Structure 1
Amino acid sequence: MAQKRAHGELEHADTGRRPSAPKPARTRACVECKRHKIRCETVEGEQKCSKCLRSGAECVPYNINHKLQEEDALWKAKATAEIAQLRSAVQQLLRHNQLPPMRTDVDQPSTVVISPTNVVSENGCTAMVVPPMDMTRENSPERSVDEEDTNLVPAPMRSLYDLTRIRNLRSNARWKTNASALDDDFITQGIISPVEADELFKRYMENIHELLWAGMLCPHSTLEQSRRHSTLLTAAIITIAALHTPGGDETLLKCYNVFVSLAYSTCLSRVHNLDDIRALVLAAFYLPSLSWKLSGIAVRNAVELNIHHSFQKLMRGQTEHRGNVRLWYALYVCEHQFSIAYGRPPLIHPDAAINNVEDFLNSPLSTPGEVRICAQVALFKILTEAYLAYGSDPEQALTESDFQQLRMFNFAIEQWRLAWQHRSADSASIGSYPSKGIVLYYHFARFQLNSLALRALPAPSAASSESLSYDRREAANIAIAAATSTLTLIFEEPDLRKALPGVPIFTHTMVAFCATFLLKMAKTWGGVVQAASPEWATEPVGLGLNFHIGQVLSLSRRSAHLLSKVADGLNEKHLTRHIVAGIRDLLKHFDAIETPRSTGPLGIEHRQLGGALTTQSMDIASEFPSATVDPMAGWNMYDLIGSYGFGFDETYLGQAASSDLDLWPM
């Protein structure tokens, strides 16, 4: 061992090698030298390198993270400037198109703004805000097992929510009054000036508010209250008021664009309140092209808030749900009015609330407005039963066995009038409109039901009188009398005429439908004459229908004149103007005809259906192909009475030129 150590020492001595000292740590170049790509030479006793000493620059050690930070800051600054520029450009475009500005709330979930191509107005597309697909969980405390087990059979989606706690699966999101809503609504943004909005709100309250069940759909007495509770309701109210203001097309367009934009944003929103639903129902009553869509959306949103359970809760003593039941009744009436108007099946079927309106009214808290809306609910319940019995197929004629059930429906409507007319108390602000409105709806319901007797009949001719059985003639005569009574009642009742400008469009279509039915009856069946009938006949012969052409023409002209006077106080976009144009267009077919004249039972000059074939009546035969060899070439009974509905979109909106309805996208 000693020998080896000695040998090792000898080797070191021979080579002269010593263990090398550790190398000094390599220093990094400073930022300045790195930038110039030169060697960074340190100077003994100095904090700076030689290059920085000569140039007087600050000698900062190079750090690659520092470079990344500088590049990141530069990119962010550039992106921020570009975003600000784009936001400014978008805001200018929105202001140019009179649309609400972009939301900048940092607390709100991110949204994507798109412009659907199927929403077109006069100035372009209406923006729609689409909520994100948020699958985040609720951050509220988890419910205990005991709480979850209280309901053993919940709805399937409720069970899914209980398991996943995904917030978008929850349908009963709570809403509170937003005190800051006034700071960013369309009035504050200047789309509608505060003065304009206040004037329109007051116009609505003075002329329209009481007509819809004593203001049930607008529980706020001031514009500020409405703005705090629902921007959508405020937009609906001022849009309806603008529609009932003559002139002011620019204001109406701005209001309409605001409402449509808000309504589109609401469609896919998860958070609603009762005032938002009231806004959709209110707009459905007055905006013809949106009525069907809005009523359906309102029903779904209401069900999502479990308003359909409010009646049972009210019956258990929870009086705070009374307002919810009223809203459910308003939804039922609105949805069934337009289901009948379009001949389409309704969404809401009779439930405990619909079947027990008397239990709802059997309370010291009941009001005249609630009586009026319950009367409507009871009527449309009868009409819906008729719809389910007879359907809406325009090619399905009633059989002889159907008329027995039709008599039962007629009896139910008679009972309805007797039960509700005396309960609908008159009002100091709208006079006898509540009770007379019951009579108006009574006549129209009888007309609506009994006109089905003429559905899908074969083409009439002089030899087809045997095809009308006694039961069918009886129902047809009831329909003719009810349509005539509908028009006559409006002429004779001043409170109905006074209320006519502010009532929902359903009432206007009642008048229009009756006038159209009678005129098309005159055109379709008026050429069916019996050559064998004596010229002096004054009683109905042939088909046996109590139909007087002279009376029909007189009532139709008076209807057009009355509605024309009503339209003078409304905006030119109101549906009434187009109804007048449609009636007058039908009357043009009779203007060139000199009809035979005799005095009818009501003192009105008339020519009865199936009367004598005189020299003058030959003019009718030459005017209408119905009296020629082919009695009714191209005859379409659906064109005469619709299905179990008005044919609202086909008949009325189709009568006006599309350029006249450019405000109402279908």
Structure 2
Amino acid sequence: MDDSGPPCKRCTERNLSCVLNKSLQTLIEERSQWKTTVVGDLDNIHAALQDVLGRLSLPPLPPLQTTGSDAFDQSPHDGGVDREDPGPSCDNSPRVSPRDDALPHVPIESLYQITRLRALRSDDTADESHPPTTRAANSPMNDFISNGLVSIEDADRLVNLYLNRIDHFMYMIGGGKYKDLDSLRRGSPILTACICTVAALHDPMSNHLYGVCSREFRRLMAAAMFDRRIDRDHLRAMCIGSYWLHDISWTLSGYAIRRATEVNLNSNFHRVIAENSEEAMDCMRIWYVLYICDHHLSILYGRPSIVREDFSISGWEELMKSPVFTESDKRLVSQMALLIIMSNVRELFGPDTGEPVPRAFAPQLMTFSRQIDQWMGYWTTELQKLHQFIGQFPTKGVILHHHLAKLHLHSHVFRGLKGGRVPSFFQDSANAAVSSATAIIEMLLSDYDIREGLVGIPHYIHSMIAFASVFLLKVAAQHSGKYIEDPVVFDLTTKAVHQFRSTAVGKWHLVHLMADGLEKMAASKIKSPSAISNPPPTDSASQAGLHYMNQANSMPLANGNGLYGDNLAHGGFEEDLSMATSSFLHFDSGSFDFNFPGFGL
């Protein structure tokens, strides 16, 4: 019997010497070597032609459909060869670690030292930097733009919109070192796809591009899910997606935080303090945005946050002393300072169990309320008054966030009441919640910078504006005339709907998705004849957003049978009007669920 491999079944049954296995093995090896050689030759020819076409300014060739892998169609006889699946990869010559001879730092190091399984060892440490690989200036591109899915002109317009407008709402962290489309494409394909996706979402002229860009971004994200190493631009792309893409923000945020902790991103805090390193500060900005996204989502969905207030979060004041700390960084840490307060609020109240808030919480409510007031007083004077690209939004945004935080805090007193009377010891908080919700809508309608900010602000603020609107509608329905007059609520809601519809953004943007459902909800919940008989004029809110607009997209997106279908027209506004603090976003669809009982934080 041949000892080069196991015999076939027939030879085994007859106890014969088997040469089939050896022949097949030889054939497979020869085919594999031939295929590798041919594919390598094709790659060289294709690259040379791409280079020639690029020098002649001619359109590039489509990408090769063949790959360098061995995934060719096997012969039906190939299944007769027993081959073991490759197991986990090991480090045969692992890097020498200064801790190899010391006691293990963490338990996983002990397992790595005795198994040498590569997956157990992080490739990166806090003091190492792996800059993204950048294509040479003369090398051919191979991405969704070069393949013709998005034209160069459209991609350039989207990238410029993001870099010159939208990125300023995320403290200029998303663009990183890239200043134009060409440098961005050569530096990071996944960051390019993400930036184009977010820009198309905001641009009323790019509805046809949003789906293409979004699919490409998701494809690249999925392809990199199990990569051993991702670079900083990959984390930057996930920050952008978490900040603006409401339908996938929860998934992206959790995954990005996990990958950031793999490389101890937060440990760059010490490098900033000790070395004033700009590179370390860039890492800290990404970590802080992940903290902000995580805590925003925690508020929106009523779920525990992942990132805790460790030394890198609570020590933000130390960073302000560094020369690499910028004006945009001030805005960044101002948000963190507020979210630290909000985190303490969530720790106090915990998840909504349907029970009323205990009377003993009244003093803490007032303490948190004073902290939020102090936060606003400090940052309205500390931040830059006029921004080159987003006007007075930095200081106006502080005031808006103050109202959002007050609404989130004081709305807890309605928890578990099921439309019943608010206890006397919580009346001040009930009034404060209604006052904050009213101020949010009035600020949206009357303040130019806030209206313009509807194009660019993160989906968290859009979500909280929706909560303010629905909160007022439910207060009017449950406590008619007690905290606010019904006609006032109807007037504010109707004007808000008009403002949402007149904002020049893409049709899949949240402000357009919110408008129709909120309008139907107002008509269903507000029964006051005086409110219904005196609707506000149709020009009560001015158009906000980009200064060009596709008129077809400025029309209402649904009239009973559009994006929402008949759901909102016939579905359940008469359900239980509980004002519990539970999540109000559809996790799967990313659209607002105005129907469900207990619409809240």
Q: Deviations over 1:481-521 (max 9, x none)?
A: 00001111122221111121121111111211101110122
Instruction: State the match for 1:408 in structure 2.
Output: 367
Instruction: State the match for 2:148 in structure 1.
Output: 190
Q: Deviations over 1:113-148 (max 9, x none)?
A: xxxxxxxxxxxxxxxxxxx9763333556527x652
Q: CA deviation at 1:578?
A: 1.3
1:595 has 2:526 as partner: no
* Aligned partner letter, 1:135: P
* Aligned partner letter, 2:472: L
* Aligned partner letter, 1:431: G
1:104 has 2:67 as partner: yes
Question: Contact 2:302 / 2:351 at 8 angstroms: preserved in 1?
Answer: yes
* Aligned partner letter, 1:401: A
Aligned with 1:235 (options 193, 198, 201) = 193
Matches within 5 A, 1:24-35: none
Instruction: State the match for 1:177 in structure 2.
Output: 132
Matches within 5 A, 1:250-649: 250-317=208-275, 319=277, 320-425=279-384, 426-460=386-420, 467-526=421-480, 545-566=482-503, 569-589=504-524, 593-595=528-530, 635-637=576-578, 640-643=579-582, 645-646=583-584, 649=587
Instruction: State the match for 1:6 in structure 2.
Output: none
TM-score normalised to the size of structure 2? 0.74
1:148 has 2:87 as partner: no
For the structure 1 residues 159 and 70, does the alpha-carbon distance in structure 2 shift closer, same or farther, using more than 3 Å as the test? Answer: closer
Counterparts of 1:386 and 1:651, CA distance in 2: 29
What SS does the aligned partner of 2:530 have? coil
For the structure 1 residues 654 and 546, does the alpha-carbon distance in structure 2 shift closer, same or farther, using more than 3 Å as the test? Answer: closer
Segments of structure 2 that go 5 or more residues without pairing to the other structure are 1-18, 40-61, 73-84, 535-572, 596-601
TM-score normalised to the size of structure 1? 0.68
Question: Contact 1:397 / 1:453 at 8 angstroms: preserved in 2?
Answer: yes
Segments of structure 1 that go 5 or more residues without pairing to the other structure are 1-63, 85-98, 113-131, 461-466, 527-539, 600-631, 658-666
Counterparts of 1:390 and 1:378, CA distance in 2: 19
Q: CA deviation at 1:263?
A: 1.2
Instruction: State the match for 2:166 in structure 1.
Output: 208
Counterparts of 2:143 and 2:201, CA distance in 1: 21
Question: Contact 1:187 / 1:193 at 8 angstroms: preserved in 2?
Answer: yes
Q: Deviations over 1:526-553 (max 9, x none)?
A: 2xxxxxxxxxxxxx7xxxx431212111
Q: CA deviation at 1:647?
A: 5.0
Stretch deviating more after TM superposition (381-390 or 224-233): 224-233
Instruction: State the match for 2:50 in structure 1.
Output: none
Q: CA deviation at 1:217?
A: 5.4
What SS does the aligned partner of 2:383 have? coil
Counterparts of 2:331 and 2:189, CA distance in 1: 28
Q: CA deviation at 1:111?
A: 9.2
For the structure 1 residues 73 and 354, does the alpha-carbon distance in structure 2 shift closer, same or farther, using more than 3 Å as the test? Answer: closer
For the structure 1 residues 134 and 554, does the alpha-carbon distance in structure 2 shift closer, same or farther, using more than 3 Å as the test? Answer: farther
Counterparts of 1:134 and 1:71, CA distance in 2: 23
What SS does the aligned partner of 1:183 have? coil
Question: Contact 2:298 / 2:304 at 8 angstroms: preserved in 1?
Answer: yes
* Aligned partner letter, 2:268: S
Instruction: State the match for 2:91 in structure 1.
Output: 138
What SS does the aligned partner of 1:502 have? coil
Counterparts of 2:24 and 2:225, CA distance in 1: 44
For the structure 1 residues 193 and 170, does the alpha-carbon distance in structure 2 shift closer, same or farther, using more than 3 Å as the test? Answer: farther
What SS does the aligned partner of 2:381 have? coil
Question: Contact 1:101 / 1:189 at 8 angstroms: preserved in 2?
Answer: no
Instruction: State the match for 2:566 in structure 1.
Output: none
Counterparts of 2:257 and 2:30, CA distance in 1: 49
For the structure 1 residues 472 and 649, does the alpha-carbon distance in structure 2 shift closer, same or farther, using more than 3 Å as the test? Answer: farther
* Aligned partner letter, 1:585: K
Instruction: State the match for 1:535 in structure 2.
Output: none
Question: Contact 1:342 / 1:648 at 8 angstroms: preserved in 2?
Answer: no
What SS does the aligned partner of 1:468 have? coil
Counterparts of 1:296 and 1:71, CA distance in 2: 48
For the structure 1 residues 575 and 459, does the alpha-carbon distance in structure 2 shift closer, same or farther, using more than 3 Å as the test? Answer: closer
Q: CA deviation at 1:459?
A: 3.9
What SS does the aligned partner of 2:475 have? helix
Stretch deviating more after TM superposition (68-77 or 388-397): 68-77
What SS does the aligned partner of 2:224 have? helix
Instruction: State the match for 1:166 in structure 2.
Output: 117
Q: CA deviation at 1:248?
A: 3.6
Q: CA deviation at 1:247?
A: 4.6
For the structure 1 residues 636 and 195, does the alpha-carbon distance in structure 2 shift closer, same or farther, using more than 3 Å as the test? Answer: same
Q: CA deviation at 1:574?
A: 1.5
Q: CA deviation at 1:188?
A: 3.0
What SS does the aligned partner of 2:500 have? helix
Q: Deviations over 1:404-429 (max 9, x none)?
A: 11111111111111121111213122
Counterparts of 1:79 and 1:436, CA distance in 2: 66
Counterparts of 1:409 and 1:500, CA distance in 2: 28
For the structure 1 residues 267 and 432, does the alpha-carbon distance in structure 2 shift closer, same or farther, using more than 3 Å as the test? Answer: same
* Aligned partner letter, 1:356: G
Instruction: State the match for 2:54 in structure 1.
Output: none
Counterparts of 1:443 and 1:480, CA distance in 2: 10
Counterparts of 1:589 and 1:636, CA distance in 2: 12
For the structure 1 residues 154 and 391, does the alpha-carbon distance in structure 2 shift closer, same or farther, using more than 3 Å as the test? Answer: same
What SS does the aligned partner of 1:473 have? helix
Instruction: State the match for 1:3 in structure 2.
Output: none
For the structure 1 residues 103 and 406, does the alpha-carbon distance in structure 2 shift closer, same or farther, using more than 3 Å as the test? Answer: farther
**Structure of greater Rg:** 1
Q: CA deviation at 1:192?
A: 2.9
Matches within 5 A, 1:211-230: 211-215=169-173, 218-230=176-188
Instruction: State the match for 1:613 in structure 2.
Output: none
**Aligned-residue RMSD, C-alpha:** 3.6
Counterparts of 2:204 and 2:34, CA distance in 1: 49
Q: CA deviation at 1:102?
A: 6.8
Question: Contact 1:134 / 1:168 at 8 angstroms: preserved in 2?
Answer: no
Question: Contact 2:202 / 2:505 at 8 angstroms: preserved in 1?
Answer: yes
Counterparts of 2:588 and 2:489, CA distance in 1: 23
Counterparts of 2:497 and 2:110, CA distance in 1: 58
What SS does the aligned partner of 2:275 have? coil
Counterparts of 1:503 and 1:148, CA distance in 2: 48
Counterparts of 2:24 and 2:517, CA distance in 1: 72
Q: Deviations over 1:241-285 (max 9, x none)?
A: 111122543321111110111111222222111110110110111
Q: CA deviation at 1:167?
A: 2.4
Counterparts of 1:507 and 1:554, CA distance in 2: 21
Q: CA deviation at 1:233?
A: 0.9
Instruction: State the match for 1:653 in structure 2.
Output: 591
Identity of aligned residues (%): 28
Alignment size in residue pairs: 495
What SS does the aligned partner of 1:328 have? helix
* Aligned partner letter, 2:123: N
